Structure 1
Amino acid sequence: MTARQPAEWMPHVATWTAWPSDPALWQDDLLPARAEVAAMIWAIAEHERVELLVGTEEAAASAHEALHGASVRFHHQPFGDIWLRDTAPLFMASTAGPAAAGFRFNGWGGKYLLEGDDAVAAFVAHGAGVPLAKHDWVLEGGAIEVDGTGLCVTTEACLLNPNRNPGMDRFEVEAHLRRDLGIERVLWLGDGLANDHTDGHVDNLARFVAPGVLALPAAAGSDDPNAEVYDDAHERATAFGVDVVRVPSPGLVEVDGVAIPASYMNWYVANGVVVVPTYGAANDAAAVAAIGSFFPGRRVVGLRGNAILTGGGSFHCITQQQPA
């Protein structure tokens, strides 16, 4: 079998994540973000080990206090910020054993270049005891979503953005995905969510819930800022031939009068639990129930993610699964 990333719902050895550590980045949201990350870790650690990066001595002390007794292994390693979906390696499996793929990281198109982020992939692969193959093109883990069979979904807004790999067209991108990740088929969606600084990471928009089955949001009213994006994604996905299931959208979520990229799709699937971000929106409970129907046999829990979202993402963005 070609080495490729297993689907997220396949068994894990561990989950890698990081503790909010830099007060200059998080400011007033540092303590609330730590509380939300801690709640996520406690939920995951009931079912699998959590490997936690801490960037400073103060951060380590606060993490030890918040997570005392949980199945967590601490790693003292400087890093820029907690978005390990994008800075950690993508773990893969094959008949030859586990492997990891690391890619060039340029701060989401040069917007957020933080010291230490470019060292995370090598550190995590070494800590996991998995050989790392380094690939010299820009790819963030949140930009792709796989179903484990060789099928991938992504967005043109991100992977074809000239701020990532200038001069690479979709055919070259597909060739690189095939060569480095064993991806055989690519479903191209269009734009990502409004005001998403990742330029449209697909893990805020479309997630596989089974082989060939893609979950997409359904707009939550006429003021939903992403209604056209959802409709376009649905049209492209059905034309491609995947089965589509829908999840209610949180609708318009604002901070200081600006729509923010709040999404229930940024859930994380661990061995025995699915952690879904909620925002105090009207559709929180309905979305958690809908996502729960996709993963029978797992506990599905909604946890607030408003403070983490001030940094630009949610639970999927800050985690990286290490497959069994």
Structure 2
Amino acid sequence: MGQGKGQDAAPDGNGPWRMPDEASPHELTYMSWPSRRIWKTYVHAVREDIARIARTIAEFEPVTLLADERDAKGARRACGSGVEILPVPVDDLWMRDTGPSFVLGPDGVAGVDLNFNGWGGKQPHTRDRHVARRILSDRDVPRVEAPIVGEGGAIEVDGAGTLLATESSLVNANRNPGMSRDGVERALKRLFGVTEVLWVDGVRGKDITDYHIDALARFAAPGVVVMSTPPSASPSPPTSSPPSSSTSAEDVWTKAYRQAREALTAAKDARGKALDLVDLPEPAHIGRRGPDFLASYVNYYVANGAVIMPRFGDKKADAAAAAIVRDLYPGREVTQVPVDALGEGGGGIHCATQQLPKAR
């Protein structure tokens, strides 16, 4: 595998790639500074959220934040000396999707470039389409160009051979026209070193991501999946009986949750084991929010020694969510931060971050 600056690498290199789970040790966290071009009058509020997240993560591990040269000074002032500012042209803040998804191989770290296309052409991405390549070139890390189009928020791995994904996002003509689910699955297995891909339906066309998995279900450990549970949904597993009239009237997100829970209840991971599903209830009282607001606690970020998760202002729900996450990640400090402006943009803390794992 070539190690030259900016050099592409074959997906299988000199041995199999493997994407580690997020709880594995990090070298640093990448983030991105939102542009006025995308956020317009909301840019000040969302920059406050991004700076708050960056400063919080920087208490536990290094943070590198990409920003346009003209915005670098303001980003540095907002984030403080604990955050490195890397002058790189960007459109938006969603580093999970625009940045590389890092994998480990026999020669160290490589970065998978998932060919970001603005979530199926829904948003301008003339700069963000190059972010993954720019990061990898800056660090002299080999680039793996994926044979599919997708985003980092569309995949979730347990580090032990299992990957979670929604069909609505990846098996979609706006990213991968003409590709079957089997074709996408083969690419995912090769790129990320997994042997089992667990699919749930998701939701098409209702949000900019076509329902990324990181807003719905996350691996807390191999065999343990924590799910974002709508307030209206029962925490008990759904049955195979026909839906009642009340269920049929549920919104698309609750229906997607129920379908995912049923599918994952019946699934086995790469080790052939059934999954332990943990419900993480969404807040019931968040005040007036826009239609795209993401009130998902599972969109947290696992940093070195910590879990950074949202606080939505529903004190009872916030405290309950923190307690559940604390039990899922023993020994890690659980820190909650308000991200209201970020949520109005349809994303959260996980969407805004991307970890660079330590090479072993």
Task: Say whether the fold is shared (TM-score over 0.5).
Answer: yes
Question: What residue number does 2:42 align with?
Answer: 29
Written as runs of structure 1 = structure 2, the 5 A alignment for 1:186-201 is 186-192=197-203, 195-201=206-212
Q: Which amino acid aligns with 2:339?
A: G
The alpha-carbon deviation at position 197 of structure 1 amounts to 1.4
Question: What residue number does 2:118 align with?
Answer: 107
CA contact (8 A) 1:19 1:52 kept: yes
* Correspondent of 1:46 among 59, 65, 73: 59
The structure having more radius of gyration, on CA atoms, is 2
Question: What residue number does 2:16 align with?
Answer: 2
- Structure 1 residue 236 corresponds to structure 2 residue 269: no
3-state DSSP of counterpart to 2:132 = helix
CA contact (8 A) 1:192 1:202 kept: no
CA contact (8 A) 2:28 2:355 kept: yes
3-state DSSP of counterpart to 2:310 = strand
Question: What residue number does 1:309 align with?
Answer: 343
- Structure 1 residue 66 corresponds to structure 2 residue 99: no
Question: What residue number does 1:271 align with?
Answer: 304
* % same residue: 40
CA contact (8 A) 2:292 2:345 kept: no
Structure 2 Cα separation of the partners of residues 27 and 158 of structure 1:
27
3-state DSSP of counterpart to 1:42 = helix
Written as runs of structure 1 = structure 2, the 5 A alignment for 1:121-140 is 121-140=132-151
254 and 204 in structure 1: CA distance in 2 versus 1, 3 angstrom threshold: farther
Structure 1 Cα separation of the partners of residues 161 and 188 of structure 2:
10
CA contact (8 A) 2:149 2:175 kept: yes
Structure 2 Cα separation of the partners of residues 167 and 202 of structure 1:
22
Question: What residue number does 2:215 align with?
Answer: 204
- Structure 1 residue 292 corresponds to structure 2 residue 326: yes
Structure 2 Cα separation of the partners of residues 194 and 266 of structure 1:
20
CA contact (8 A) 1:29 1:310 kept: no
Residues 14-66 of structure 1 deviation map (CA, whole Å, 9 limit, x = unaligned) = 0000112x223222321221111111111111111101101242x21222112
The alpha-carbon deviation at position 251 of structure 1 amounts to 4.2
Question: What residue number does 2:29 align with?
Answer: 15
Return 5+ residue gaps in structure 2 as ranges. 1-14, 234-248, 268-273
Written as runs of structure 1 = structure 2, the 5 A alignment for 1:218-237 is 218-221=229-232, 225=251, 226-237=253-264
Structure 1 Cα separation of the partners of residues 276 and 284 of structure 2:
23
Q: Which amino acid aligns with 1:290?
A: I
Cα RMSD, aligned residues only: 2.1
Structure 2 Cα separation of the partners of residues 91 and 46 of structure 1:
22
CA contact (8 A) 2:153 2:213 kept: yes
Structure 2 Cα separation of the partners of residues 87 and 137 of structure 1:
14
Structure 1 Cα separation of the partners of residues 290 and 102 of structure 2:
39
Q: Which amino acid aligns with 2:76?
A: H
3-state DSSP of counterpart to 1:173 = helix
CA contact (8 A) 2:217 2:298 kept: yes
CA contact (8 A) 1:12 1:271 kept: yes
Question: What residue number does 1:163 align with?
Answer: 174
Q: How many residues align?
A: 321
CA contact (8 A) 2:300 2:310 kept: yes
Return 5+ residue gaps in structure 1 as ranges. none
Structure 1 Cα separation of the partners of residues 230 and 92 of structure 2:
31
259 and 118 in structure 1: CA distance in 2 versus 1, 3 angstrom threshold: closer
